[in-house]
Amino acid sequence: MLRRTVREFAESEIAPHVRHLDEAQEFPREILKKAGDLGLMGIIFPDEYGGAALGYTEYVIAVEELSRVDGSVGISVAAHNSLCANHIFQYGTGEQKRRFLGPLLSGQWIGAWSLTEPTAGSDAAGTRSVAKAVPEGWVLNGSKTFTTHGSVGDVTVVFAVSDPEQGKQGISAFVIPKGTPGFRPGRKEDKMGLRASDTSEVIMDDCRVGPDGFVRGAGS
C-alpha cells in the first residue's frame, strides 16, 4: 500500500518536472510540501510531534520509490528526515522539539545539517568552525561546505568547536533558524547530478545564537 501510494505520487507530482528541475537546478520546495502532506517529511517520527509514526522499512521504501523517479527528491527527503529532523528529535531539548519538529515534519520547513568543512568532512574531528560562549549565548564563526539544503534550509543544525581543550570531543551542535544575523548561505555547488537537491556553503560571521540554540554539549 505504501509503495503504491508513493510510486503514484512520484509519477504524478515529480516525473513531469524532473528535467526542468535538473537543468535549472531548481529546488523542488512545492513538491516537498506535497510530500509532507503524505507524511513523508516526518515518516519515522512519533505522531506526538506530527510524524507519520512509521518504521525504517517504510522509510526505505518511500525513499526508494521517490528516487526511482528523481534522486534529487529522494536525497532531499532522506537528508531532511535522517539528518536535521532526527538530530533535533534525538538530542534536542523539549522546547527545541516543540519549536522545530512540527514545521519540519509537515514539510512547511526544510531542514539542513551542516558538518562538512573544506578541511573537515569525513574527518569530522578536524572541524575548525568555532563557538565562543558569551553571556547571552554563543557566537559562531566559520564556514561549511557541501551542506545539503544549505541555501534553502529554514533551520540548520551546525557543528562547531566549543571547547578546544577537549580536542575531537570538544564539538557541539547548534540549531540555527534561517535569517539569524551572521548566518548565511555561500556558494551553491554546480553539480553533475542530483542538481535539484541544493548543495551549498554555509557561512557564520559573528553569528549569535541564544542558549536555546544549543543542542548538544562538547564531549557528548
Give pLDDT tens digits for 9-23. Answer: 999 999 999 999 999
Burial 79-111 (b: 16+ CB within 10 A, else e): bbbbbbbbbbbebbeeebbebbbebbbbbebbb
Q: What local confidence, expressed as pLDDT, does residue 123 receive?
A: 79
CB contact at 8 A, 174 and 182: no
Q: What local confidence, expressed as pLDDT, does residue 75 receive?
A: 98
Q: What local confidence, expressed as pLDDT, does residue 219 receive?
A: 63
CB contact at 8 A, 65 and 73: no
Q: What local confidence, expressed as pLDDT, does residue 217 receive?
A: 67
Query: Is a pLDDT exceeding 80 seen at residue 107?
Result: yes
Smallest CA-to-CA distance from 207 within 156, 152, 168, 164 is with: 156
Class of domain 111-216: mainly beta
Domain residue ranges of the chain, discontinuous segments joined by + = 2-106, 111-216
Cα→Cα distances 47→38, 54, 90, Å: 13, 9, 15
Cα 82 to Cα 62: distance, rounded to the nearest angstrom: 13
Distance of CA 68 to the CA centre of its chain: 22
The architecture of the domain spanning 2-106 is Orthogonal Bundle (1.10)
Angle at 135 between CA 133 and CA 136, to 5 degrees: 95
Mean pLDDT of 187-202: 96
Query: Is a pLDDT exceeding 80 seen at residue 197?
Result: yes
Cell digits for 119?
578541511
Residue type, 49: Y
pLDDT averaged over every residue in the chain: 96
Q: What local confidence, expressed as pLDDT, does residue 144 receive?
A: 97
Q: What local confidence, expressed as pLDDT, does residue 72 receive?
A: 98
Give pLDDT tens digits for 143-167. Answer: 999 999 999 999 999 999 999 988 8
